[in-house]
């Protein structure tokens, strides 16, 4: 490679534009190292200055400056993202702790409900109940509970009924059936007795249906009563 070869084959232009093969570029660089005056002859400094002016006019940074970081690579963005991730992690841990605590409380309440014994009744209270003859009642006739446990002797007046035996059905309003008592006999005064501990049932409204039993055992609706139990 000599000056004539360089000029004839436009080695400088091809080198600057990156179109020179690797071996040719290496030979040209080696030749420039051996003949540094060639750089002044080809005006390399002027060409580089002109190229830099073009980069500046086009809004591009010089090649030796680092490329601008993308928005997600900038330090404030990284710090904000890390802080947000940390806050979310802490929030998840707090929610997990609260959920676990509520689960333990729920389990404890279920165990308490399953194992809680009846409070011992210290007295007996007799209450006469005049049930409805026309149908279920939306309002309660009496309230049970709210104090010390008692044995409640509920006496339903069915002296007017022509049937001597009854079936008593107890339903918890809007929940389900609690109990069915078969072949309950009236006493000599015509009362049907239902005796229970005031803490035996959970709080709420209870609908009692009293059906008379014919000699064949067929139930015939006779009366209804609603009671409220509180704690």
> Counting Cβ atoms within 10 Å, is residue 19 exposed (0-12), middle (13-18) or buried (19+)?
exposed
> Counting Cβ atoms within 10 Å, is residue 229 exposed (0-12), middle (13-18) or buried (19+)?
buried
Highest mean pLDDT range out of 69-83, 87-101, 144-158, 206-220?
Answer: 206-220
- pLDDT tens for 75-93 read 677 677 778 888 888 888 8
Task: Determine the Cα–Cα distance for residues 168 and 209; give it in Å rounded to an integer.
Answer: 6
199 and 131 both lie in a single domain: yes
88 and 42 both lie in a single domain: no
- pLDDT tens for 13-22 read 777 766 778 8
Q: Please state, in angstroms and as integers, the Cα–Cα distance from residue 43 to each residue in 13, 40, 110, 208, following that order.
A: 12, 5, 92, 112
Query: Which tokens hold the place of 154?
Result: 């509920």
3-class secondary-structure state, position 144: strand
Query: Residue 168 domain-assigned?
Result: yes
Query: Residue 187 domain-assigned?
Result: yes
* Confidence category of residue 26, pLDDT binned at 50, 70, 90: confident
Highest mean pLDDT range out of 62-71, 85-94, 152-161, 197-206?
Answer: 152-161
Contact 171, 178 (CB under 8 A): yes
Q: In terms of pTM, does the model score above 0.75?
A: no
Task: Determine the Cα–Cα distance for residues 180 and 166; give it in Å rounded to an integer.
Answer: 11
pLDDT, residue 146, reads: 79
Query: Residue 66 domain-assigned?
Result: no
Domains: count for the chain = 3
CA nearest neighbour of 184 among 169, 202, 204 = 169
The domain that contains 192 carries what CATH number?
A: 2.60.40
Number of CB atoms found within 10 A of residue 158's CB: 22
97 compared with 58, residue with greater pLDDT:
97
Lowest mean pLDDT among 44-48, 129-133, 189-193: 44-48
Task: Determine the Cα–Cα distance for residues 192 and 203; give it in Å rounded to an integer.
Answer: 23
pLDDT, residue 67, reads: 60
Place of tokens 């680092």: 66
Domain that holds residue 41: 3-57
CA nearest neighbour of 192 among 227, 153, 220 = 153
- pLDDT tens for 164-219 read 899 999 999 888 888 899 999 999 999 999 988 888 888 889 999 999 999 888 99
33-57 mean pLDDT: 68
104 and 201 both lie in a single domain: no
* Confidence category of residue 224, pLDDT binned at 50, 70, 90: very high
Place of tokens 């707090």: 94
Place of tokens 């309230």: 143
């Amino acid at each position: 490679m000599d000056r004539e070869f360089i000029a004839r084959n436009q080695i400088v232009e091809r080198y600057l534009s990156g179109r020179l093969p690797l071996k040719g570029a290496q030979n040209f660089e080696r030749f420039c190292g051996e003949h540094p005056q060639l750089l002044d002859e080809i005006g390399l400094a002027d060409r580089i200055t002109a190229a830099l002016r073009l980069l500046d006019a086009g809004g591009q940074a010089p090649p030796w400056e680092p490329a601008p970081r993308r928005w997600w690579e900038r330090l404030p963005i990284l710090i904000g993202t890390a802080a947000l991730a940390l806050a979310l992690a802490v929030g998840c841990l707090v929610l997990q702790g609260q959920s676990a605590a509520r689960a333990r409380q729920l389990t404890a309440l279920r165990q308490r409900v399953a194992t809680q014994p009846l409070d011992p009744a210290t007295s007996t209270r007799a209450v006469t109940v005049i049930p409805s003859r026309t149908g279920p009642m939306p309002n309660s006739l009496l309230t049970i509970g709210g104090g010390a446990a008692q044995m409640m002797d509920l006496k339903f007046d069915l002296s007017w009924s022509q049937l001597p035996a009854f079936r008593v059905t107890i339903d918890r309003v809007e929940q389900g059936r609690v109990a069915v008592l078969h072949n309950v006999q009236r006493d000599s005064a015509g009362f049907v007795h239902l005796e229970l501990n005031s803490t035996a049932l959970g709080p709420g409204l209870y609908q009692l249906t009293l059906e008379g039993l014919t000699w064949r055992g067929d139930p015939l609706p006779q009366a209804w009563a609603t009671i409220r139990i509180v704690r």
